[in-house]
Amino acid sequence: MLDKLSLDGKTVIITGGGTGLGLAMVRALARAGANLAIAGRRQGPIDDAAAEVVALGRDAIAISTDVTDSTQVERLVTTTITHFGQVDVLINNAGAVQENVSKPLWDITDDEWHMVMNVNLTGPFYCSRAVSKPMSEQGHGKIVNVASGFGLRAGRDIYMYCCSKGGLIQLTRVLSFNLARYGVTANTIVPGFIPTSSTESDIRGTLPRSGDFLPIGKLGTPEDLGPIAVFLSSEASDYMTGEMFFADGGGLAAGLGPTGHAPLVALEP
């Protein structure tokens, strides 16, 4: 029953695969047997990630891609299919957090709004649209979207990030409902607070510095997402679609506030 957790011979496209959560997922996917098409804006990190995959004995290509440009996204998918012959899985992981992520509503410019919505929501839409035809024609495929706990809860002065990630969760549901008839599934990974170099430089003060405010008492690591990404990319998740898989240290089960709040109230007579 557990053989289905293998990705032997599967081709996975992952965006934002050169750094952070994406790189950790690339490593786990390759260890599970997958061949990878790694996309990212900057060539250096995705070349390094591809070299790691090849060192594990799998095949990998690095394709510099700006997911907000649909022409580049189409090229990503056609290049992948030309090289590997097929695409089995798409992981929409590329995301943007902008400088000063938390900003009063009245100071947010049109461009700032559109930039984050384009990367976090339009990008995954373009990528999903591009793979949906070949996946539907081959009768199987998996789309995995990487959202955020901020897609379900509000953050103080965090508008674009929350709205785009909420939209991504809803995109997953609509994709799942409509692509089910073609054998294509779509699910969301919902990470909680997981420090990466990107959050270190961009989100800064808006994220908790430690796990003190989380039920499990510690922050997550990018490696926590590895086995989840492999499961959602594998045949072991064939009957799962339109769903969310959380990795948040219990943050969403409680919320940051009630953690540590332990009332004692006797039963009323």
Partner 1 sequence: MPLLPEYDLSGKVAILATTGGDQAPHLALALSEAGALVFTIARRQSHLTAVLQALEGSSFANRGGVVADLATTQGTSLAMEAFDHHDSPVDILVNDVQSMFAKPFDEITMEEWDEVQSRNLKSTFLLTQAVGRRMVDKQYGRIVNLVSGLAERGMINTSAFSASQAGLLSLTRSLAVEWGRHNIRVNALGTGWTTAEDIPLEVQQEELLVRYTPLHRKGHPRDIAPLLVYLCSESCDYTTGQAVYVDGGLNAHP
Is 161 considered catalytic here?
Answer: yes
- Rule CB under 8 A: is residue 265 a binding residue for partner 1? no
Choose the binding region for partner 1 from 27-35, 47-55, 120-128, 198-206 (rule: CB under 8 A).
27-35
Identity at 116, one-letter amino acid code: V
What is the side-by-side strand order in the sheet with 141-146?
60-64, 35-40, 11-15, 89-92, 141-146, 184-191, 244-247
C-beta of residue 64 within 8 angstroms of C-beta of residue 41: yes
- Rule CB under 8 A: is residue 246 a binding residue for partner 1? yes
- Rule CB under 8 A: is residue 236 a binding residue for partner 1? yes
Site string for partner 1, 182-201 (x = CB under 8 A): ---x------x-x-------
CB of 43 to partner 1, least distance (A): 28
- Which of the following is catalytic: 126, 159, 161, 239? 161
Helix 43-55, helix 20-31: angle, nearest 10: 20
Helix, strand or coil, per DSSP, at residue 14: strand
Nearest Cα residue to 216 out of 253, 186, 269, 268: 253
Give residues in contact with partner 1 (CB under 8 A): 1-8, 28, 31-33, 172-173, 176-177, 180-181, 185, 192, 194, 214-217, 220-221, 224, 226-228, 230-231, 234, 236-250, 252-254, 258-259, 262
By annotation, the residues acting in catalysis are 161
